[in-house]
Structures are given as structure tokens and as C-alpha cells.
Structure 1
Amino acid sequence: MAIMDIFSDVQQFLSEPKKLFIGGEWVEPSSGEYFPVENPATGQNFAQVSMAVEADVDRAVAAARNAQEGAWAKVQPAERSRLMIRLAELIEADAENLGQIISLENGKPYTNAYKGEVVITANIIRYFAGWPSKIEGSTIPVSPRGGEPMLNYTLREPVGVCALIVPWNFPLSMCAWKLGPVLATGCTAVLKPAEQTPLVALRLAELIQKAGIPAGVVNVLTGFGDRAGAPLSAHDDVDKIAFTGSTGVGRMIAKAAAGNMKKVSLELGGKSPNIILPDADIVRAAKGSADGIFYNQGQVCTAASRLYVHESVLDQTLEELRKHAAAHLVGPGLDPANTMGPLVSREQHGIVKGYVDRALNEGAELICGGKAPAHLEGGYFMEPTVFLDRQEQACIAREEIFGPVVTVMSWSDVDELVHRANNTPFGLAAGVWTNNLKQAHTIAAKLKAGSVWINCWNVVDPASPFGGYKQSGWGREMGKNVIDAYTETKSVFVDLS
């Protein structure tokens, strides 16, 4: 197995315990505690990072507030754009190191980390760098009761200090999804990465510092949800919280935010229906469906985990899925030959394996996969897994698994199909594969999901809004829609009489 050598820059980065980034400085945690970061491909610890606690949250929020009301408030929109473009350039220049750090702590193949995260992260920051000079108010023709001449105009102002809590499945690009609009609108941030994947956020902080972004504009706290995330969510001097993660944690964050009525945006779980119509290009549809569930080891909120196949093309689709599952090479992400890495942790591997075992007990038919590859030891690996559950009776057809497990169901009636597809508490994404344009648009209009993909899957762009219906979240990220989430609108009246 040809494992890539660890780059010297990465070795140097990992050689010492990582501190917290607060107010533009690298500081020791108040707790004096550090915790290990595990390589999920080996199960071995390879780095130490700071354990942030409530006192560190207070320090970071204060630094963000000082920057918000001080140096950052004086930076003109054109200068914010320049700083963001500089950051994007630094991300690109450090792409190989960032990709390797992601692969080490998350497990995903290096190629996916490089192309699927680092390149995309730079593109997101560059997209939002175009926004600072375009955030504007308006003049409004009002009709005062007294008839006096009156000028009314609006201002768009930064919402203030933002708490950003990001997940482990895309540990760099999710930072950019939130930091992009923070920097564009003139807000400041306290960023808390997931405890499983803190290192790439700390590397990003080094680049933020190098880009010349003023001290305190972005602060990074590493640690656990109960000791850092909870006090950050409830902090009375935080004006907004943006969270990506599970629906259960999202509910807790929404409750914590009620104390000072801070703004909240949530991008949560999904159980996305993916529909293959009988007239679809089955080879193409099966390839897209396989990519939609096996990419990133299935650890994607929009994973195509519920596959509805018309009964007339069911056998052909299953055969194609078998081929794509068998074609994946599972192993450590730093082996360039591998196309699928381990799950992120022992805990996550146990969750996925538990779902597989339960599905078998509930009568689902295992088509392929369902276990760890026999030749791999020490890491948290799982083969690409396909189940057939024609009438979706098993738990795997209803609950989010967050692993490389797809449940295939058959259908014959379109109206019943749409009802089944929408019969879920989630509404993040959906897909339709067909050559019938009218049918595609008709079904897409009826699906209750924030993103609908026709003859494709997981197409996301910084210019297009992303978010979910129902229990998949509140609000939208990306595009012009997200600017509203990070700004306040002020109405100003001037008596001209």
C-alpha cells in the first residue's frame, strides 16, 4: 500500500500541541487541558489540541466584540474584498497541506479533500469577496399621515458577533460557508470546529492571520460541545449563531439561543429521496446514485440514501449499483489508489454497523457490502452497502445513517411515489432521473426539499441558496439569500419640512 509521505510543512504543523486562536494571538486554554486527534484510518492519535472551556468562550467573544466595534468597523468594503481575495489565494497556495490535514483527521481520500474541499473553499471565499461593495439599502417612497415631506431610506448593517459551529464531514469548506458571509458583511466570528476535525480550522486561522485580517475578527476555539459549544450558543454577547450538524443538536442550539433572542440559522439532517423513472438513462442514473451515497463515505447531509426505482428497471439498477460498489477501493485516504476512506470515528462506525445489523433483522435484503473489508485492520472502514427494501419497512429507509448505505425501494404509481418521498420529517434534498422534461419539472415542484437535482446529484454553487424544509433546518446558506442572515436592516426617516 503506497501511503503518501506526510509533507514537511504538515509535520511541522503537527509537531506541537495546538493552542487556541483568540484576538489574533495563539493562547493556552484556560483549562490547561489538551485532547488527542485520532486518525480514523489507523485508530491512532497523531496530534494534540486545546480543550476550550467557558472562560475561553468569554475571551473569544470579547475579542470578537472589540474587533466588531473597533478596527474591523473602520475597514472599507473594498478593503474587505481585498483581504478576502488574499485569503483565497493563500488557501490555494497551501492546498496540498490543507488536503493532507483533512485526510489525516477526517479520513477521506486525499484527492477528495484537495478537490472537494480546498479548491471549493477558495472558490467560496472568492465568491463572497465580491459582496462587500454590493450590500446596500434603498430609498422608499413613503406616505406620512400628515402629508409633510419625508425621506425614508434603509441601511444594511452587520448583525455583529457570530458563533459558527461546523461539522466534521466537510471540516474546511463548512468553515468557508459561514466565514464567507461573516467577512463580506463586516461581522466578526468565534468559530468552533468539530472535536473530531479541529486541525484544518487551526491551519485556516494561520492563513487568516497571514492574510492581514484584523485581530479578533475570526477566533477559533477547539473543544467539545458541552464545554465550549454550549456556552458559545447561549452567550449573551453573541448576536447570531450558525450551525451545521444533526437535527438533535440543532434543537438544543435553538433553545440556547432564546436567552438573548440571537439570530439562528441551522443546516441539519436529511434522508433524501432519489427517484429513477423508467425512461431514465439507467447506466447514468445508477452511476449518479452511487456517487450520491458513497461519496465522502456517505457522511453527507444530502446523501442519496433513499433510492426509489421503478419496478420495471429495478433489476438493472441493482446490477449497476453492485458494479459501482465493487469498483470502490476502500482504505486509508493517504493511499492515492483508494476511492473511499474510513468513517470518521469508532463511534460513527458503530452507529453505521448498528443500522446494518438492525436492517438485516428487520428483513431488508442485503445486495452487497455491510461489513468492513477483510484486508483492513485498525481503522473504521465500511464497504459500500446496498439494501433492497421494496416497501421501506426497515429503519434504514427512514432514519439518517450518515454512512455508505443506500436503501433501494420499488414503485409503480407516480402519485404514491411522491407521497412516499415526502413522508419524512426531513426536507434537505431530492433528485429525479428521467428523460421526460415535463415529468421532471412536475415531480420537482411536488417534492418538499430545499434542493432538487434533475439528472445530477450534490450540485452546489456559492451563488445558489442551500438549506432545508421541515426539520432539515432554518434559513439558507450561500448566494444572496445568506447576506440577510448576517445583516440587520435599519429604516431611517428624515423630516424635510
Structure 2
Amino acid sequence: MTITVPFRQLFIDGEWREPVRKNRLPIINPATEEIIGSIPSATSEDVDLAVDAARKALSRNRGKDWSSAPGAHRAKYLRAIATKIRERKSEMAELESMDCGKPLEEALWDIDDVAACFDYYADLAEGLDTKKKTPVSVPMEEFKCHVVMEPIGIVGLITPWNYPLLMSTWKVAPALAAGCAAILKPSEVASITCLELAAVCREVGLPPGILNVLTGLGHEAGAPLASHPDVNKVAFTGSNMTGSKIMAAASKLAKPVTLELGGKSPIVVFEDVDLDKAVEWTIFGCFWTNGQICSATSRLILHESIATEFLDRIVKWTKNIKISDPMEEGCRLGPVVNASQYEKIKKFIATAKSEGATILCGGTRPKNLKKGYFLEPTIITNVSTSMQIWREEVFGPVLCVKTFRNEDEAIELANDTEYGLGAAVISKNLERCDRITKAINSGIVWVNCSQPCFVQAPWGGNKRSGFGRELGHWGLENYMTVKQVTEYVSNEPWGWYKPPSKL
């Protein structure tokens, strides 16, 4: 460990506040299994305080300085946050690696994306000033109509542990750009950098109550946030089980939600590929972020004519991946996030083996790493479409493989899933790639690559992978509501009712 984890409290109304019940949770470094700090544990009482702070921030007196202010005003804060994030890039990346096990070089990349995301939504916030009124053509000349976009109000943002700061930024940046007040509840498994984001916002003078950060357990802080009557919208990224609970809670109040849930994404590799390029994209698509990514292309659908040579090469590439403490130079696979996730992944592998699948490589702890939640990247063959390993999200460095004979079979295998977040197709035949792209039912399709993500493009899934889109202008629109304004402009009376007779 090269830096010390800062001691932080909850961030409410622009100030650090001890939780009402004064509870804290330990932070465990997944590479060493050592306690390296603690985070405050919020409960419903703290949620009430944060919602009250957000309500005051958007009140008639104070809201004019935020929600009713020009977008350019909010953009200045977003750009100041981006600047501070860049200044603290190395520190933020190290904290992220220590917290969730992400290789440091990946974390550095993530922090760059965080800053870029704030800058991007600063631009979109400024753009709102030129789109204050959108005229609507109506068929009656006595009327004029226009549409305005307004901030939706107080938003609850519940985020996961695999990209602690980046996934939070995907929600915080557009919510603030839109003019909302936000309450961020990051995963209790990895929250350090989200509290540091609060510190940055305080440093740049973000108005009190505009961003509040509550760390703590899902059932103690996340659930009351999602069901709070004064929270106007909830945006969630995480598991299907939790997403269903959030949707159920929101439905009682007819509250809008955005859900980005799990995935079991396919990568379809045809026979005409450059083998080494296809192998690298395949392992990147599954093992990036230690395999802990909802869009991981963890189902390899491989043309049977190249299967033998492709699998031989992918095993060699996989065995060459450097597994180490994520802070070490050149690390490409760190530990999974905690003991619970580690045991869950091992159980998936053991079940696959008991059902008759073949562990082609990996599946065990690296011999040179005695501590930490490390697991060798794993490739599994001889799987059937009914096996758990093929159908359920593992959320770890595990790739399962099936072969296909023709394009129709590949499409059928790709779509035979309850999920629809991501998919990839690799082939030199771009017409075929276009056919596959159109045929696959998912929110994201990569062609001759897997996993690249850009803040300008929409992100989200179909089926059990959720609904709604983040990033791009779609992400900003998540936090806005549409208001129609219709004006009667004729000098003549409407004339529908007869006026009363004059006395």
C-alpha cells in the first residue's frame, strides 16, 4: 500500500456528518485481505437528512442558483470538478485499486474517463441554454406551442463496486448538468473514491445539498433512498435481484427508474478472422476489469472449423496474463472484489465441472499468491446451453465456449439468453457483421472488438439487462422532464360557450 485511505464521514448538505447511528464498515483490500480503513454506514435517518438537504437546495430561494440557473453556470462547477479529478488522478486510481482490486493501469484509465465525463456534460449543460424552447407545429393558428426541458428534481443514484467512481460519474455528471440535486449511494463493497468525489465537490464550492453521498449497506441506505416519497427518480446499476426490488419500490409511487442490470453477453467469432487479433479481443472482452463487468462477453460462440487452433492460442494467451497485486506494474488481472465473490465464482466453476464441462485452463488460485482473492482466468469447454455456467452471470474471469456451424446457428446461440446488454461479432466480412448486428437482441454490439465505451454513445440493455440509456445526450435526458406550453394567441374569444344575456 502506497497511500493511506482518508477518514471520511457522510457528505450531507455540503458538510461531513457522522451517521445518526454512528456505525462504520471496514474496508478490506482484496489483494491482501487486510483492513485498510472504514466508511460511514448510513441508515434511513441519514437518507431523510440528505433528501431534506436536496429539497432545500432546489427550493424557490436556493434553486434559482442551480436548477433555474443557466446551464453555463452549472457547467463551471462540472469543469472545476473535472480539473480537480485530474489533479488527483494518481491518488484516486490507487485508492480505487486498493478498494476493488482493479489493476492500477485500468484504474488510471477510469479516472481519465471520469474527468472526461464531467467535461462532456459541462458542454451539454451549456447546450441547454440554446434549447430553452423547442417550438411545436400545431394545426390551429390560434395557438402557439413549445416544449421546455426541466430538471426532474431530486434523484437517487445507486451504483456498483466494479467501477466505483466511473459508474457514479455516469449518473452524477448528467444529473448535475440537468439541474437536479443528487443523492449518491455507492456500493458498500467499494466506496472510497465516491467519498473523495464529495471532497472534490466541497473543494470547488458546489452549492450545499446539490450532491450528497451516503455510504452504507443496501438494505439500510439504498432501500429507503429508492422508496423515499420525495425522491423524484432512481437510477440504479447492479444486480437483477436488487434492480427488481428498486423497481417494485418505485412503482408504488409511480416513480421513474433507470435500470442497468446484469448480462451474459456473447462474442461470435467466424472462421475468417485474424486469429491473434480475435483471441486478444476475446480475452479482453471477458477478463478486463478482472471479469467483473456486466457487459463481459463471457460466452464465446466459435466457428467449429477454427475451434482447435483458436482454443490452443487462447489458452497460451490466457496463461501469459500477469496476475498480481493490482498495484504492480504490468498487472493485467487482479483479485476479485471480496471473499463472497471469490467463493461464488469458485462454486460456478465447480458446478460446471460436475455437470460435465471441461476446465480448459485456470479455475484455481495462482500458486504464487497465498493471500488475496485471486483466481486464474478460466476457460470452460464442452458446455451445453442448459448449464448454469452458460446461462447465468458469473461476474468473474470465466469464459465458456460453444461452437457453431453456420450463421443462423450462431445467431440462435447468441440470442438464447434472458439478457441483452452487450454482444460482439468478429469477422473480416463486414456485410456479415452488419447482419449479425441487426439480428442480435442487445443494447450494445461491438464489431471486431469488445468492451470499448465512449461517453458520447448510449449505454444500456434489453430484456433482463434493464431499460433506459446512460451516457450521451440520452444520459442527460434521464434527469429531465418534458413540459408542454400552449398559448392562445388570437384576439377573438374562444366562442365555445354562449355568454350570458346582458341584464
Query: TM-score by structure 1 length?
Result: 0.95
Give, in whole Å, the separation in 1 of the partners of 2:373 and 2:154.
Answer: 38
> What is the alpha-carbon distance in structure 1 between the residues aligned to residue 305 and residue 238 of structure 2?
37
Alignment partner, residue 139 of structure 1: 135
Correspondent of 1:29 among 19, 24, 29 = 19
Distance 1:278 1:339 in 2: 28
Corresponding letter in the other structure for 1:79: H
The answer to whether 1:351 aligns with 2:348 is: no
Counterpart for residue 255 of structure 1: 248
CA positional deviation for 1:410: 0.5
What is the rounded CA distance, in whole Å, between the counterparts of 2:269 and 2:55 in structure 1? 51
Q: Which amino acid aligns with 2:44?
A: E
Q: CA deviation at 1:260?
A: 1.8
Does the CA contact (< 8 Å) of 2:162 and 2:293 recur in 1? yes
d(CA) in 2 for partners of 1:331 and 1:200? 22
**In the alignment, is residue 106 of structure 1 matched against residue 100 of structure 2?**
yes
AA matched with 2:272: D
Task: Give the drift of 1:134.
Answer: 2.1
1:161-176 correspondence runs (5 A): 161-176=154-169
Aligned twin of 1:82: 76
Q: Deviations over 1:260-314 (max 9, x none)?
A: 2111000000000100011111211111001111111100001110000000000
Residue 392 of structure 1: how far off its partner (Å): 3.4
Over the aligned positions, Cα root-mean-square deviation in angstroms equals 1.2
Counterpart position of 2:499: none
> Which shows bigger deviation, 478-487 or 27-36?
478-487
| Matching of residues 469-480 of structure 1 within 5 Å | 469-480=462-473
SS at match of 1:488: strand
Paired letter, 1:426: Y
Q: CA offset at residue 149 of structure 1?
A: 1.5
Q: Which runs of 5+ in 1 are unaligned?
A: none
Partner AA of 1:258 in structure 2: S
Q: Which of 26, 47, 57 is the matching residue for 1:57?
A: 47
Native 8 Å contact 1:236 1:259 kept in 2 = no
Give yes or no for contact 2:270–2:302 (8 Å, CA) kept in 1: yes
Instruction: Report what 1:327 is aligned to.
Output: 320
Q: Which amino acid aligns with 2:30?
A: P
| Cα pair 1:363 1:394 within 8 Å, conserved | no
Which residue, out of 71, 92, 96, partners 2:90? 96
User: Equivalent residue of 1:341, what SS?
Assistant: coil
Residue matched to 1:457:
450
Which AA in structure 2 matches 1:27? Answer: R
| In 2: Cα distance, 1:75 partner to 1:332 partner | 47
Where 1:318 maps in the other structure, the secondary structure is helix
1:106-255 maps to which residues of 2 (within 5 A)?
Answer: 106-115=100-109, 117-135=110-128, 136=131, 137-144=133-140, 149-255=142-248
- Among 36, 39, 42, the residue aligned to 2:29: 39
Q: Of the candidates 238, 262, 271, which is equivalent to residue 269 of structure 1?
A: 262
Residue 437 (structure 1) aligns with: 430
Contact 2:325 2:335 (C-alpha < 8 Å) held by counterparts = yes
Summarize deviations over 1:103-147 as a string: whole Å, max 9, x none.
Answer: 1110111111111x1011111111111111323231112124xxx
- Cα deviation for residue 23 of structure 1 reads 0.2
**Is the contact made by 2:384 and 2:390 (CA closer than 8 Å) also made in structure 1?**
no
Task: Please give the per-residue CA displacement for 1:155-193, whole angstroms capped at 9, x wherever unaligned.
Answer: 100000000001000001001100111011101100001
What are the ranges of 5 or more consecutive residues in structure 2 without an aligned counterpart? Answer: 491-503
Contact conserved, 2:383 with 2:390, CA < 8 A, in 1? no
Whether the aligned pair in 1 keeps the contact of 2:232 and 2:255 (CA below 8 Å) is yes
Q: What is the deviation of 1:389?
A: 2.4
- CA distance, structure 1, for counterparts of residue 43 and residue 323 of structure 2: 37
Task: Give the greater-gyration-radius structure (CA).
Answer: 2
1:68-93 per-position Cα deviation (integer Å, ceiling 9, x unaligned): 22242353211111111111111000
The separation in 2 between residues aligned to 1:389 and 1:428, in whole angstroms, is 25
Q: Number of paired residues?
A: 483
Amino acid in the other structure paired with 1:47:
G
Could you list the runs of 4 or more consecutive aligned residues of structure 1 that deviate by over 4 angstroms after TM superposition? none
Cα deviations by residue, 1:232-263 (Å, 9 ceiling, x for unpaired): 00000000100000111111100011122111
Q: Which position in structure 1 is the counterpart of 2:501?
A: none
1:131 is paired with a residue of what secondary structure? helix
Q: Corresponding residue for 1:6?
A: 2
Aligned residues: percent identity? 37
Q: How does 1:357-376 map to 2 (within 5 A)?
A: 357-376=350-369
- 1:181, 1:51 → 2: CA distance? 26
Structure 1 residue matching 2:395: 3-state secondary structure = coil
| Equivalent position SS for 1:397 | helix
Structure 2 residue 306 is matched with structure 1 residue 316: no
Residue 338 (structure 1) shift: 2.2
Whole-Å separation in 2 of the counterparts to 1:494 and 1:204: 44
2:493 corresponds to: none
Kindly state the Cα deviation for residue 413 of structure 1 after the two structures are TM-superposed: 2.1
SS of residue matched to 2:360: strand
Q: Which residue identity does 1:61 align to in structure 2?
A: V
Supply the AA of the counterpart residue of 2:138.
V
Q: Distance in 1 between matches of 2:250 and 2:68?
A: 29
Between the aligned partners of 2:293 and 2:249, the Cα distance in structure 1 is: 26
